[in-house]
Chains A and B, each alone.
Chain A
């Protein structure tokens, strides 16, 4: 099953299970969704529950907030993360805050789906990642899915939960293949150990997890040690427990993210480790991230602006040699 098919299945099951689930966004209905995630839903559930909206992102999220207040479970799709900036007032000031400001009197069971990241040569206005902003806002649950099985379970959980969720998807993951265990009870807030290892903990999320996994054999060969790879899965809350156990075992931390380095999400993980696990670390943490530039169109420049399997391997090996790994 493809990643996008897993998401589609989660949608479908949630809509069949609960008739208050509705979805809205640009081209989610008759067109079938820009990334084909909502394919077939309008035929099955009708235009009232699968709603094509104008190109008006503020309204997509703003209307979803109102639908949730009115007793529905809306799932809003933002076509790409960059366009979400038009909806950030609704995400931050309304979606994240109404429950708290109303002292719990307003509950917002809603999801905003968030395709984002550096895809292929889409240039700066279609390549941004916003987890750092989304996770800096109290009141939002932020999931970032890499694994296909996880994608199915996490989206279904988010749709049927009573809280406001941001569900981040990387645009290059939609055609990823993987098995799904439909009967599994999966906790979407628990980090996934993508690979067990003994000497280095490499933490990542979204597509970078796959790139790290590609780089790991080379790293292990050159450094002569095994790496543990952790897929965060949930960025808010973070499963610090799993991270702590891993870092206490390996004594070394590498954080890999695609987003720009300055102010990027990984800074949170590294600063947490510095505060909480300073004496457990045998080497300074390594942080690999995208360059602080708008993402360029040219493919060579584009690949130079973000971590790749090659650059991850090279940088981790260099850091390992310098720090006696």
Chain B
């Protein structure tokens, strides 16, 4: 990546974390309700993967605020959606787990674990038929790799040689159950190895994620067929805001937070891209300001009209 791309990724990571903390704060205050899954600790993976997969379609999982923003969806539209407002990206009908913006080739936000993977397969089929080369990326957690939808999708994508990038965010936990208690091995990439080319990457390292996703997309664009990437990461919070995270020891959390992807990438910016502390502060301030503005916007935004209840069930009137 070049310097501008690196700055951009850092900015998105910092903005993402600030966004998640602001969301948590407003959840505690009662402005946001429902399930709220924060991405704190996983920013390198979420931002760098989306930025590297520059063109093409993205299907994401329910922990997707940061990915949606990295794709270009306005923070104000995402925050307003969390607040359930009419100007939210899904008109207040989707909430945290369901952010959709086809104009940015971003299709959620899906709350059925693994349920969106077959949808990404179908979209990749459509793209292949239409002669588009950019491919589709589907992002899911390690917990999604134990369901039938996942295995069916590996099989179908490989059989049809579809332009599809499977990106597994392995944070080691499906809600509170460790992956090693739900699968016979920690590395879920093993499940994909018989089907397609696979990569493993340190998901706490933005540069590494960026490079591997970029390489995979290039291969897909060249007609390689599906590719699977497993990125190992670590979330700093519980599964959702209502999860006390009690199943992880203090020692484990300490080890996890020692790998803070923002701190790590900040060092890269200084050493490799020669950014000064002032440059970095400027990015951080701009990020925080955007989040503050998003909250202000969401707070002031209008509730949906009650008439909206019956809107958008169907495309055609009967």
Contacts and interface: CB of A to CB of B under 8 A. Distances in A.
Contact of A102 (B100, B118, B119, B316): B100
B90 A99 contact: no
Contacts, number: 148
A56 B160 CA distance: 15
A161 B316 CA distance: 8
Contacts of A284: none
A13 B251 CA distance: 66
A100 interface: yes
Interface string A36-49: 00000000000011
Contacts of B313: 99-100, 138-139
A12 B21 CA distance: 55
Interface stretch (A62-70, A170-178, A264-272, A274-282): A62-70
B93 A58 contact: no
Interface in B144-198: 148-149, 152-153, 155-156, 159
Interface residues of B toward A: which range?
A: 35 or more
Contacts of B119: 62-63, 65-66, 69, 94
Q: Which of A54, A104, A109 has the most CB of B within 10 A?
A: A104
Interface in A80-128: 89-90, 93-94, 98-107, 109
A62 B149 contact: yes
Interface in B181-237: none
A105 B101 contact: yes
A189 interface: yes
B100 A101 contact: yes
Interface residues of A toward B: which range?
A: 35 or more
Given A58-B149, A107-B315, A63 B115 contact: no
Contacts of A189: 318
B93 A94 contact: no
Given A66-B118, A89-B112, A90-B118, A102 B123 contact: no
B98 A63 contact: no
A70 B122 CA distance: 8
Given A62-B118, A67-B125, A104 B156 contact: no
A141 B118 CA distance: 22
Contacts of A22: 129
Given A69-B122, A74-B122, A102 B108 contact: yes
A89 B92 CA distance: 23
Contacts of A325: none
Contacts of B116: 94
12 contacts: A53-B156, A56-B156, A63-B125, A66-B124, A67-B126, A69-B102, A89-B112, A93-B115, A99-B314, A101-B98, A104-B311, A105-B100
Interface of A: 22, 48-49, 51, 53-54, 56, 58-59, 61-72, 74, 89-90, 93-94, 98-107, 109, 138-139, 141, 161-163, 189, 237
